């Protein structure tokens, strides 16, 4: 009997399949570990609950709260409130296939919505956006394939899309000024040079650019209301 | 007994309309005759006496800021001494807030005294402050930092005066104090990160 | 085509289908007939006209002409990689489009600007006042130094143009083409400088647009992540707080509690407190005794270390900061005192 080497494409497929299986197994193990933690937390184990908050808190902060509330102080307040609410109501959490993060996310979204309703904030989002986001987040609880990375990606993409839509509505040189100075954090000198203007002129351009962006966002919000 | 019953009923009626009965217990100005306060053996709570002290502390520090901005450290010092040597809410030991604010104030007076080159008086203030906050927290850490500054200034003066031995000793003490400040800070951070 | 048939020599008139596809000789005759006249039509233009009139196979175009035309086509389609003459022509086309659009959109006060732009684009003499003419001359002198299309592109508007934006964008145009720095209103300049300083961290953080700038950064994910220290403090605080064990739904809404019930609760709490109060002390005390009722005692805030009010990662400086610290402590404890009063009244 002569051994024949499998064609290269078959070998690659096999490697990919094995890698996917290993990844799935790892995720499964992680999910089981998470479930155990949740059970312990519901049984009153504060350390387990702290571990859950420690693991997922930063993700809630950077992808759910910070982009939607527009300031570190507001997002940190909201995160603190989220933790309190989670501690108060963790007994209501029911384990589903998607893990605990989607449930935490719903809590955080609701807190953010309360904050936006309670006080006028400088943000690209308004309460209606958050209401829709809460509804979507609640529907996501039924989605078994949803995981933390996907949630995070979606949430950040939504925030970025909101910004990009607004930037597209203003003069392109204004958008460039904002891109350079606010988003890429170039110095005034670098940004001015990139636009081919003096620094004092750039300062004025940036000021007008941000004013124009704010106006565009407000107009969009009024149109959607 | 009848009188006491009447008092109870009258005060209950008062409370139903939301009057601050407890506000009478601990004010620093004159006794109120319509309030009866419980004995001190029970658990302490944040009360108006504490708030009055803290308000005074804030006013004193702001006045000292003005004096320092005007380039009058001696005047700032005098104002601050009024707080550290003045009346404080009763309690043995004093409430933590009182101890920490006094320690912070003593750190400030020590720093001012060292500016005025009165290093021994500065050290006495620091010793008082350290006694008030034996806990290894930010307040104690700051007092060690100020100790280092005081010794560092003393070192400079002695060195210029040609007292090499004295200067070296002062420098040694300064380094020790700064090291201790860093160690306290490390502990504070580590403790916060503990699960 | 029918009109032109009359002009052609008889042998070239398309009296049958074959005339539609002239052979080489006939082509040469056509070219000679339709060659450049005394009207000074440039050869490439002539070829272009031939192509339009008789079909592409009649005209011949220089290779570089073809290349440039292709570049123009791509530039008009939005290809950003086009450069050279084709890019310049595309910009001209864009300018013409914009000025045509601007005719409908610019407010009356901008008519002079509009006239100037059109004049530059079309190479005609604008109908403007003497004052505007002077300004236009200055603009023209600037534009002479650079391709005018680049400058006009800087002034191009997309979307809504605020009246305040026009001078800013024109200033961009001037500076881009090497002109003098423009002057803006003092208030504009001040606001811009305040914002610039705040963004540099050198200001006092009071620029009106600073919160908006932070919101933009937040949406783009450009603000710093949570620091571990604050994270730990929050987790600890939430776990140490008394959890309000209750079902789902909102926290108890006191506004729905009838006033008479609130009064009864307050009276009950007061009675219990009074029963346990003893003789008053002669001197004030910061350690005020608390009530005996367990629940009320649990809710009263006790004096405690103020370390929790400060970021453990940031040590106190040797000099300065005392006023801010004592202010922070005072604010926190004032809130505690209010809490204690409310708790004693039996109100959450």
Among A140-144, B130-134, B189-193, C104-108, name the one with the lowest average pLDDT. Answer: C104-108
Query: Quick check: C301 and B46 in contact, CB under 8 A?
Result: yes
**Residue B88 distance to chain C (closest CA, Å):** 9
Residue position matching structure tokens 């043995």: B92
pLDDT reported for residue B99:
96
The structure tokens listed for C94 are 């864009």
8 Å CB contact of A83 and C176: no
Distance CA C139, CA C174 (A): 8
Q: What is the 3-state secondary structure (H, E, C) of chain B?
A: CHHHHHHHHHHHHHHHCCCCHHHHCCCCCCCCCCCCCCCCCCCEECCHHHHHHHHHHHHHHHHHHHHHHCCCHHHHHHHHHHHHCCCCCECCCCCHHHHHHHHHHHHHHHHHHHHCCCHHHHHHHHHHHHHHCCCCCHHHHHHHHHHHHHHHHHHHHHHHCCCHHHHHHHHHHHHHHHHHHHHHHHHHHHHHHCC
pLDDT reported for residue B120:
95
Long-range pairs of B147-150 with CB within 8 A, sequence gap ≥ 24 = B147/B110, B147/B123, B147/B173, B147/B174, B147/B177, B148/B174, B148/B175, B148/B177, B148/B178, B148/B181, B148/C318, B149/B111, B149/B114, B149/B174, B149/C318, B149/C319, B150/B110, B150/B111, B150/B113, B150/B114, B150/B119, B150/B122, B150/B123, B150/B126
For residue C192, give the nearest of C177, C176, C213, C178 by alpha carbon: C213
For residue B18, give the nearest of A150, C246, C347 by alpha carbon: C347
Query: Quick check: C314 and C227 in contact, CB under 8 A?
Result: no
Nearest to B23 among C291, C336, C341 (CB): C341
Distance CA C45, CA C72 (A): 16
The structure tokens listed for B174 are 């300064």
The model's pLDDT over B65-74, given as tens digits with 9 standing for 90+, comes to 999 999 999 9
The model's pLDDT over A122-175, given as tens digits with 9 standing for 90+, comes to 888 888 888 888 988 888 888 777 788 888 888 999 999 989 989 999 988 899
pLDDT top residue among B52 and C275: B52
Domains and CATH numbers, chain B: 7-16+46-193 (1.25.40.10)
Distance CA B19, CA B12 (A): 10
8 Å CB contact of A171 and C191: no
CA distances from A184 to A176, A194, B16, C2, C222 (A): 10, 12, 60, 64, 9
Distance CA A116, CA A126 (A): 7
The structure tokens listed for C194 are 């305040």
How big is chain C, counted in residues? 348
8 Å CB contact of C266 and B26: no
pLDDT reported for residue B29:
35
C289: part of which helix (H) or strand (E)?
strand C288-289
* Confidence category of residue B189, pLDDT binned at 50, 70, 90: confident
Q: What is the 3-state secondary structure (H, E, C) of A184-206?
A: CCCCHHHHHHHHCCCHHHHHHHH
Q: What is the largest CA-CA distance in chain B?
A: 82
C335: part of which helix (H) or strand (E)?
helix C322-345
| A115 contact residues in C (CB cutoff 8 A) | none
CA distances from C168 to C138, C146, C154, C171, C283 (A): 17, 19, 10, 5, 69
Residue B156 neighbours by CB distance under 10 Å: 13
Residue C178 neighbours by CB distance under 10 Å: 11
pLDDT reported for residue C133:
66
8 Å CB contact of C301 and B45: yes
pLDDT reported for residue C232:
79
Distance CA C231, CA A57 (A): 8
Three-state DSSP state, A21: helix
Three-state DSSP state, C285: strand
CA atoms within 13 Å, Cβ hemisphere of A60: 31
pLDDT average, residue stretch B150-176: 95
Residue B194 neighbours by CB distance under 10 Å: 7
Report chain C (348 residues): mean pLDDT per 10 consecutive residues.
Answer: 50 52 66 54 62 59 78 78 74 62 49 57 60 67 51 47 66 59 76 89 83 91 81 81 45 45 50 47 42 52 90 88 93 87 68
Distance CA C136, CA B136 (A): 73
Residue position matching structure tokens 């450009």: C222
Q: Phi/psi at C203 (nearest 5 deg)?
A: -100, -170
| C241 contact residues in A (CB cutoff 8 A) | 84, 87
Question: What is the distance, to the nearest Å, from the Cα of residue C309 to the centroid of all Cα atoms in its chain?
Answer: 37
pLDDT top residue among A66 and C18: A66
pLDDT reported for residue C251:
38
Distance CA C86, CA C4 (A): 33
Distance CA B148, CA B128 (A): 16
| B195 contact residues in A (CB cutoff 8 A) | 47, 50-51
Tell whether the model's pLDDT for residue B12 goes beyond 50. no
pLDDT reported for residue C257:
47
Distance CA B92, CA C83 (A): 84
pLDDT reported for residue A109:
94
What is the torsional sign of CA A203, A207, A213, A216? negative
ω before A58 within 30° of 0 (cis)? no
Q: At what angle do helices C259-276 and C322-345 cross, to 10 degrees?
A: 100
pLDDT average, residue stretch B103-120: 96
**Residue B186 distance to chain A (closest CA, Å):** 21
Select, from the ranges A203-207, B191-195, C171-175, C292-296, the one with the highest average predicted confidence (pLDDT).
A203-207
pLDDT reported for residue C231:
81
Q: Is the Cβ of C145 closer than 8 Å to some Cβ of chain A? A: no
Distance CA A105, CA A112 (A): 10
Q: Which residues contact A147 (CB under 8 A, 6 or more apart)?
A: A27, A98, A99, A101
Q: Is the Cβ of A36 closer than 8 Å to some Cβ of chain B? A: no
8 Å CB contact of C168 and A197: no
Q: Is the Cβ of B39 closer than 8 Å to some Cβ of chain A? A: no
Three-state DSSP state, C224: coil
User: From C343, which residue of chain B is nearest by alpha-carbon distance?
Assistant: B22
Distance CA A134, CA A126 (A): 13
ipTM of the complex: 0.86
Tell whether the model's pLDDT for residue A1 goes beyond 50. no
């Amino acid at each position: 009997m002569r051994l024949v080497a499998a064609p290269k494409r078959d070998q690659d497929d096999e490697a990919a399949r094995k890698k996917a299986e290993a990844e799935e197994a790892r995720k499964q193990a992680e999910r089981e570990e998470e479930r155990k933690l949740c059970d312990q937390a519901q049984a009153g184990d504060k350390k387990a609950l702290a571990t859950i908050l420690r693991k997922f808190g930063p993700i809630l902060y950077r992808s759910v709260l910070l982009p939607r509330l527009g300031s570190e102080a507001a997002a940190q307040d909201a995160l603190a409130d989220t933790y309190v609410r989670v501690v108060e109501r963790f007994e209501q959490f029911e384990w589903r296939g998607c893990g605990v993060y989607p449930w935490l996310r719903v809590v955080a979204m609701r807190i953010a919505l309360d904050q936006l309703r309670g006080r006028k904030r400088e943000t690209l989002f308004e309460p209606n956006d958050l209401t829709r986001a809460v509804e979507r987040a609640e529907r996501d609880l039924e989605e078994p394939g949803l995981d933390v990375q996907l949630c995070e990606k979606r949430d950040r993409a939504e925030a970025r899309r909101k910004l990009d839509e607004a930037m597209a509505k203003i003069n392109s040189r204004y958008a460039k000024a904002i891109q350079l100075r606010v988003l890429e954090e170039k110095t005034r000198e670098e940004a001015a040079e990139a636009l081919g203007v003096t620094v004092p002129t750039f300062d004025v351009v940036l000021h007008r650019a941000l004013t124009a962006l704010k106006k565009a966002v407000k107009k969009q919000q009024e149109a959607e209301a | 007994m009848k009188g006491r019953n009447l008092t109870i009923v009258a005060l209950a009626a008062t409370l139903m309309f939301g009057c601050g009965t407890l506000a009478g217990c601990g004010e620093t100005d004159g006794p109120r005759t319509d309030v009866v306060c419980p004995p001190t053996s029970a658990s302490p709570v944040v009360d108006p006496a504490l708030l009055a002290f803290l308000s005074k502390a804030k006013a004193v520090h702001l006045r000292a800021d003005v004096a320092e901005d005007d380039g009058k450290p001696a005047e700032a010092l005098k104002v601050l001494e009024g707080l550290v040597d003045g009346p404080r809410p009763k309690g043995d030991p004093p409430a933590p807030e009182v101890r920490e604010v006094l320690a912070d104030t003593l750190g400030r007076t020590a720093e001012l005294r060292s500016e005025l080159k009165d290093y021994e008086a500065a050290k006495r203030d620091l010793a008082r402050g350290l006694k008030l906050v034996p806990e290894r927290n930010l307040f104690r850490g700051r007092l060690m930092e100020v100790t280092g500054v005081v010794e560092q200034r003393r070192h400079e003066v002695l060195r210029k005066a040609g007292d090499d031995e004295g200067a070296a000793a002062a420098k040694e003490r300064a380094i020790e104090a700064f090291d201790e400040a860093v160690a306290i800070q490390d502990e504070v951070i580590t403790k916060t990160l503990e699960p | 085509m029918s009109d032109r048939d009359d002009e052609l020599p008889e042998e070239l008139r398309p009296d049958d289908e074959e005339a539609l596809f002239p052979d080489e000789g006939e082509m040469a005759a056509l070219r000679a007939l339709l060659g450049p006249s005394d009207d000074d039509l440039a050869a490439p233009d002539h070829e272009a006209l031939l192509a339009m009139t008789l079909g592409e196979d009649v005209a011949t175009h220089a290779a570089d002409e073809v290349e440039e035309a292709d570049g123009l086509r791509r530039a008009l389609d939005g290809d950003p990689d086009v450069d050279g003459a084709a890019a310049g022509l595309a910009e001209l086309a864009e300018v013409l489009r914009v000025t045509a659009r601007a005719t409908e959109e610019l407010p009356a006060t901008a008519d002079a600007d509009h006239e100037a732009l059109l004049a530059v684009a079309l190479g005609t003499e604008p109908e403007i006042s003497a004052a505007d003419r002077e300004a236009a001359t200055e603009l023209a002198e600037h534009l002479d130094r650079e391709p005018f299309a680049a400058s006009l592109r800087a002034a191009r508007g997309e979307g809504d143009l605020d009246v305040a934006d026009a001078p800013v964008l024109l200033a961009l145009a001037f500076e881009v083409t090497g002109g003098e720095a423009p002057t803006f209103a003092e208030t504009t300049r001040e606001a811009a400088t305040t914002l610039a300083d705040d963004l540099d961290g050198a200001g006092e953080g009071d620029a009106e647009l600073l919160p908006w700038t932070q919101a933009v950064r937040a949406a783009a994910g450009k603000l710093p992540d949570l620091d571990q220290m604050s994270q730990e403090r929050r987790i600890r605080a939430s776990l140490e707080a008394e959890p309000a064990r209750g079902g789902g739904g909102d926290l108890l809404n006191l506004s729905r509690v009838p006033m008479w019930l609130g009064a009864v609760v307050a009276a009950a709490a007061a009675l219990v407190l009074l029963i346990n109060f003893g003789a008053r002390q002669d001197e004030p005390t910061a350690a005020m005794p608390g009530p005996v009722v367990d629940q009320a005692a649990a809710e009263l805030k006790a004096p405690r270390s103020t370390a929790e009010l400060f970021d453990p990662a940031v040590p106190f400086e040797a000099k300065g900061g005392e006023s801010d610290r004592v202010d922070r402590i005072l604010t926190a404890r004032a809130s505690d005192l209010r809490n204690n009063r409310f708790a004693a009244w039996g109100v959450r």
